Structure 1
């Protein structure tokens, strides 16, 4: 029974990867996501004439799939492992849907995958900070995703972060980071907080690259794109965050 349980994260994440990436490949090949409306134009890379409009920004999303599979295959067996591994895997095809097609539907999948991981990180932090149960995490997670989707309905441009959905995404991540630091400082658990701080650092570097890509770092025809670096760095941040989650355990009485 224990061996079967230990295989669950790998089976779930691998199945998620195969099904989601396979469906994306079919959708791109058959035009299921709709016409190119220039949804990825703001991410520097020039659109190509082939099926995959932004190759670097598309294929760099494999970093999320790899990160999710590494989470699933890693040591540790906390209940959150399978859920997080699958959500991180979905970031890959979700983001690639937009960059490959530049379609409106692809853009919707991209932001939804972002909202899922941000709401997950926030909800898991809230649950542990409040010493609440899984039901509370589920409600917080659903509220986080819904809040981001509602914010995304505001289409007026916003300096630096482009639009309101990105603001909601960033606020959830910032709140999650703040809560994780507060949990560490509370001292009720043991673990390896260096992983948490490294994850936050990777996200800050990724955001710096993402922002620079909009201005002086932009080279539309370069095979190396700053936005692709954002994908790889945020995939690394997700993996490091899980390593922190996995290291965390209640502090023994008197410890």
Structure 2
């Protein structure tokens, strides 16, 4: 029995390690920008990835001004957005083992948090989007539209792809989706300075 449990545990650890560390030999080759040697495999895409880190840090600075019951979820969202930046820099930068997992998991986490918070509020009979305004709705529409166009045009197979250019549509996708995350943070968690 002990041997069977040990074998199962060993296989589980090995499988988890393989899941985290196994990745293609080169990452980002579908994101148009040419791969280079050195710390930044894709310099433009790596540098623009810092926008996620900036938005995550900005969102974290807003947490103390939120209602107490909103601070934990807002803190988690801010941390995941910042980790999305770290993962994206790792993916487009040094591309070390595990970089793809560090890139992918926070991106999924942002999507899950973005949907789970309003759903949880609705289930509790609360307003799902307390910070919603027409201007923020327009901002989300504009930045999401830019994100979709820049994502499509930032693929290596796109007619707009120029792998050696310092203007990369995938980098624009990073900037526009970071803007989406910033606006979304204000929709989910409007500042309430009088209840701190």
- Normalising by the residue count of structure 2, what TM-score does the alignment of the two structures yield? 0.73
Show structure 1 runs of 5+ residues with no match. Answer: 1-32, 134-179, 250-255
Tell me the CA shift for residue 66 of structure 1: 1.0
Q: CA deviation at 1:81?
A: 2.2
Q: Displacement, 1:246?
A: 2.6
How far apart are residue 130 of structure 1 and its match? 2.2
Indicate how the Cα distance of structure 1 residues 38 and 60 shifts in structure 2: closer, same or farther if over 3 A, else same: same
Q: Could you tell me which residue of structure 2 aligns to residue 218 of structure 1? A: 161
Give the aligned partner of residue 71 of structure 1.
59
Check conservation: 2:131, 2:187, Cα contact below 8 A.
Answer: no
CA RMSD of aligned residues (A): 2.7
> In the alignment, which of 177, 183, 186 is matched to residue 240 of structure 1?
183
Q: 1:190 to 1:83 in 2, by over 3 A?
A: closer
1:117 aligns with 2:58: no
Aligned length: 165
Q: In structure 2, do the counterparts of structure 1 residues 132 and 111 end up closer, same or farther at CA, with 3 Å as the change threshold? A: farther
Q: Is 1:46–2:50 an aligned residue pair? A: no
| Maintained 8 Å contact 2:38/2:94 | no
- Flag the structure with more relative contact order, 1 or 2, with Cα contacts below 8 A and sequence separation at least 6: 2
Taking structure 1 as the reference length, the TM-score comes to 0.57
Contact 2:33/2:168 (8 A) holds in 1: yes
Q: Secondary structure at the match of 1:247?
A: coil
Query: Which of 99, 107, 120 is the equivalent residue of 1:127?
Result: 120
Structure 2 portions without partners, runs of 5+: 1-20
**Aligned CA distance change for structure 1 residues 192 and 83 (closer, same or farther; 3 Å):** same
Alpha carbons of 1:191 and 1:218: their partners in 2 closer, same or farther (altered >3 Å)?
A: closer
Shift of 1:96: 1.4
* Cα distance in 2 for residues equivalent to 1:40 and 1:103: 13
- Distance change in 2, residues 1:193/1:242 (3 Å): farther
